[in-house]
Amino acid sequence: MSRALQEVVFVDGVRTPFGKAGGSLAETRADDLVVTVFRELLRRNPSLPTDRIDDVAVAATTQIGDQGMTLGRTASLLAGLPSSVPGYAIDRMCAGAMTAVTTLSAGIMAGAIDVALAGGVESMSRHPMGDGMDPNPRFLSERLVDTDALVMGATAENLHDRFPTLTKERADAFAAASQAKTAHAYAQGWIQPDLVPVATRSAELGWGLLTADEAMRPETTLEGLAALKTPFRVHGRVTAGNASGLNDGATAALLASESAADELGLSKRMRMVAYAFAGVEPEFMGVGPVPSTEKALARSGLSIDDIDLFEVNEAFAVQVLALLEHFGIADDDPRVNPMGGAIAVGHPLASSGIRLMSNLARDFERNPSARFGITTMCIGLGMGGTVIWENLHHDGSRSHDGRSA
């Protein structure tokens, strides 16, 4: 019996404000952060009967303690979903939430499910990067990977080595622009609609409320960035200013088949066109988005010239620059991260993929002339992930820079 593939639509996406590791969210359980974003998604989409949710996938990179125990299932029960709704956990390091979205979307495309919740969370306060990790000694003894592969900052330094045109000055300029664009986006009220305020608790300070990303530095200057230390290499180029920080936060997205969205009266903000993941040498992790983007474009039948907007995770400025230079895109192209990125707001590892998607959905709403957009990111141990989306607010016109004509 033949079956028609179903179209996947991005209905809605939300996130907590991202806290600094050791900051406002340090004493908040990771699973409670997921519950917060799940409940907000359900509140914002009241026409969705909770028993129509077919599956739930939640990602975390360090799956121990409050980030373990099959988060997709436990967070669903804690959020009040019916016990009939199943769930599972995902780990693809930084691309965990992105993989939760693509895995659930594959099920929707195949007709196995109609409505799904995807999420990602990381509490780097409670579970520092590498916590509980036990790499197989063969990785190093048999030289399967370079020692740099296990230190993300070292892989970023390696990119500077491989591509000498990607200078520290360019990385610092990109980082300063990310901070400025984020500050502008906040001033315009573009980011706040998808933020879920989180009640915070501290044994020392008591209760509080986090309503904005905690790591932002709108006062950043090129002079200040130039003076920062390079912790991964003497006289290196990667600093705390041109890289994302250590953060806590959670994201969630509601996905549906187009037919189910129509039936249930759900919004249809963008349609998935294609996605791809690719591997590269682990010690050059940051170049991963290049082959994953090439694969996704090939699968979609599109070229890079068809893409009007880009949401690229800013794990390090140099890895964004590597992608842009490969495709001949200027460092300051206004189509790239219009609301800033992870250098300013933070990168709680497995949660960031959905932040990119929520941002792109907002970018599309402000730019009805833009038809196609990309969300892409590098992934630890040498991978990249890319998802191409179509703007369902597209008005038929198109300007070269992705802005309204």
Q: How far does CA 246 lie from the centroid of its chain? A: 14
Strand 8-15 relative to strand 270-279, pairing = antiparallel
User: Which of 160, 235, 326, 378 is flagged as catalytic?
Assistant: 378
The CB-side HSE value for 348 (13 A sphere, CA atoms) comes to: 39
| 347 classed as catalytic | yes
- Phi, psi of 270, rounded to the nearest 5 degrees: -155, 155
- Reading the block at residue 359, the tokens are 């941002």
Which residue in 94, 127, 160, 394 is the catalytic one?
Answer: 94
Q: Which two tokens stand for residue 272?
A: 């998935």
Is 393 among the catalytic positions? Answer: no
Is residue 41 a contact partner of residue 53, using CB atoms and an 8 Å limit?
no
Contacts of 353 (CB under 8 A, 6+ apart): 59, 94, 95, 96, 97, 98, 99, 100, 101, 120, 251, 313, 375, 377, 385
The SS3 of residue 134 is: coil
Please give the biggest Cα pair distance in the chain: 65
- Per-position DSSP letters for 213-233, written without gaps between them: -SS--TT--HHHHHTS--TTS
Place of tokens 């305020």: 197
Active site residue 378: yes
Asked if 286 and 322 touch (Cβ cutoff 8 Å), the reply is yes
Nearest-angstrom CA–CA distance, 94 and 16: 17
Say which residue the tokens 């992705």 belong to: 402
Cβ count within 10 A of residue 10: 28
Write down the catalytic residue from 160, 347, 393, 400.
Answer: 347
Asked if 120 contacts 89 with a C-beta cutoff of 8 angstroms, the reply is: no
User: Which is nearest to 373 in space by CA: 301, 298, 271?
Assistant: 271
Give the CB-side neighbour count of residue 287, counting CA atoms within 13 A. 19
| Residue 242 contacts residue 175 (beta carbons within 8 Å) | yes
Task: Report the alpha-carbon distance of residue 322 to residue 52 in Å, rounded.
Answer: 42
Active site residues: 94, 347, 378
